[in-house]
Structure 1
Amino acid sequence: MENEKRTVDTYEVKHAICMGDKEILFTEDEENSDRPYMVCNCNWDNPLGIEQYFEAVVSADYLEMMTEFTARVTEQIEAVKAERAGIDVPLGTFTLEHCVPDDRGESIENKVAVIRAERLRPECRTADKQIVLVTGGFCSQAKARGRAVYVVYLYSGKESRWNREDILGVVKAECMPSWAKERLQQIEAERQVKQKNQEQVR
C-alpha cells in the first residue's frame, strides 16, 4: 500500500538514500526510550534480491545519528566518484535510438540488450551499467509469461536479474561500442569453457 510504513525490526525508516552499492537508512523507534535512533545500511546483493540490513548503530542522540547518516551518504558519494574516475569507457546513456525496441514476441537470450535508464538510480544511468548480455531466464524467451531475465554486465562481468519490462531493447549492431564487442567475446569464451567443464564433470 502507498502509505505503508517501511520498518527495520521495530524501527521506522525516516530517511533513505540509495547511492552506489548501498542504501543508507535513518530510522526511529518512538517506543524505545533508551535507543530510539538507528542508522544502518541495506543492499539487495543476493540471488533473490531480498533486502539485507547490516552495520547498524543505535543511540539516543539524534545529532550523533544524523551525523553518522550523512557521513555514510558522503562516503558512498565519494565511492561512486572514485569508481567513475576508474572507468575507461564513455559514460553516456543508451536510449531507444541505440536499440531495436524490445518485442516480447522475440527471444532476447544470448543477445546484447540495454537496461532502461529510468529503472536505474541517477548515478547509474551510464553505458557501463546498462549494456548487458542476456544469458537466460524464462522471460528471455519469445512470448513467455514470466518476468525473470538473467544477464551479465559486459563492463563488469557481474551477473544480475531483471524483469523483461526493464529491458529497453537489443543494441543495434552499428551502436555497439568497441569495448562492449571486446568484452562480449571474452564473456562468451568464458561461458564456453565453463559449459565444457560442466559437461566433463557429468
Structure 2
Amino acid sequence: MAEEKRMVDTYEVTHAIHIGDREILFAVDDGKTDCPYMVCDCTWDNPLGIDQYFNAVGSADYLEMMAEFADRVQAQLEAVKAERDKITVPLSPFTPEHCAPNDYGKSIENKVVVIRVERLRPEYRTADRQLVLAVGGFGAHANARGRAVYTVNLYSGKESRWNREDILGVLKPEYMPGWAKERLKQILAEQQAKHKKQVQER
C-alpha cells in the first residue's frame, strides 16, 4: 500500500524537520505555476493535538524557498541550544537502575516517575525532561484499564499527558536530586492550595 501523502491545503509536504517546539515544512504544488513552493511551521500545542500550520510563505523560486526552509531549521536549532544553556541542573538522563520497575499492579499516583528517554525527542533526552510527578489519570491506577497518566514536570512545572507505557518506573529515593526535592515540595504545596481553593468555592 502506498504511503499516504501529507498535504497542507493543496501542497504536498516533501521535507519536514521537527526541532524543538515546532516542525518546519517544505511543500510543493506543481499546479500553481505562480507559487509552487511553500514553507511553513507546524505545532500541536492545542487541546486536540491537531496540526496547526502558520508563518507560511511561498514563491516560484525553489532555491529561495529552500533557503527559507534551512534558515528556519537553523533558527530552531539555535533556540533549542539557548534553551539548554539556561538549564541549571545536571542533564545526564535517568536509566533503569535509577528506578523501581513500572509495576502495572501498583498505583503511581502522587509519585515521582521517570519518562523513558526514547519517548522524548532526541534534543530533549535530558534529566530535566524525565522527572515528573504523576498526579492523576486512569493509567496511574493499579491494574488500570486506561493508559493516560497526567503529570507535572518537576523542573518546568509544565503539565502533560503521557501513557503508562511511556514511564520507565518510579524514581528510587536515593537517586532523587536536590533540585527535584525542592521543586516537589513547591508543586505539592501549590496543588494543596489549589485543592483547598476549589473546595471553598463549592
Alignment TM-score > 0.5, same fold: yes
Residue of structure 1 equivalent to 2:192: 192
Greater displacement, 11-20 / 186-195? 11-20
Ranges in structure 1 where 5+ consecutive residues have no aligned partner: none
CA distance in 2, matches of 1:146, 1:32: 47
TM-score by length of 2: 0.95
Note the C-alpha offset of 1:200.
Answer: 0.9
Greater displacement, 188-197 / 2-11? 2-11
1:183 pairs with 2:183: yes
Structure 1 segments of 4+ aligned residues over 6 angstroms from their partners: none
CA distance in 1, matches of 2:33, 2:140: 51
Residue of structure 1 equivalent to 2:165: 165
CA distance in 2, matches of 1:184, 1:2: 48
1:14 pairs with 2:9: no
1:150–1:48 Cα change, 3 Å: farther
1:91 pairs with 2:103: no
1:159–1:191 Cα change, 3 Å: same
Note the C-alpha offset of 1:2.
Answer: 7.3
1:37 pairs with 2:37: yes
Q: What is the SS of the residue equivalent to 2:200?
A: helix
Q: What is the SS of the residue equivalent to 2:35?
A: coil
Alpha-carbon RMSD = 1.3
The C-alpha deviation readout for 1:165-185, integer Å capped at 9, x for no partner, is 111111111111111111010
CA distance in 2, matches of 1:55, 1:35: 16
Q: What is the SS of the residue equivalent to 1:12?
A: strand
Letter of the aligned partner of 2:146 in structure 1? G
1:139–1:2 Cα change, 3 Å: farther
Letter of the aligned partner of 2:137 in structure 1? G
Note the C-alpha offset of 1:71.
Answer: 0.6
Ranges in structure 2 where 5+ consecutive residues have no aligned partner: none
Residue of structure 2 equivalent to 1:66: 66
CA distance in 2, matches of 1:114, 1:122: 16
Q: How many residues align?
A: 202
Q: What is the SS of the residue equivalent to 1:192?
A: helix
Residue of structure 2 equivalent to 1:132: 132
CA distance in 2, matches of 1:41, 1:147: 30
Letter of the aligned partner of 2:165 in structure 1? E
Letter of the aligned partner of 1:47 in structure 2? P
The C-alpha deviation readout for 1:122-175, integer Å capped at 9, x for no partner, is 110001111111111111111112221111111000111111111111111111
Note the C-alpha offset of 1:47.
Answer: 2.5
Alignment of 1:112-151 (within 5 A): 112-151=112-151
Residue of structure 2 equivalent to 1:155: 155
1:80 pairs with 2:80: yes
CA distance in 2, matches of 1:99, 1:48: 32
Residue of structure 1 equivalent to 2:104: 104
Q: What is the SS of the residue equivalent to 1:71?
A: helix
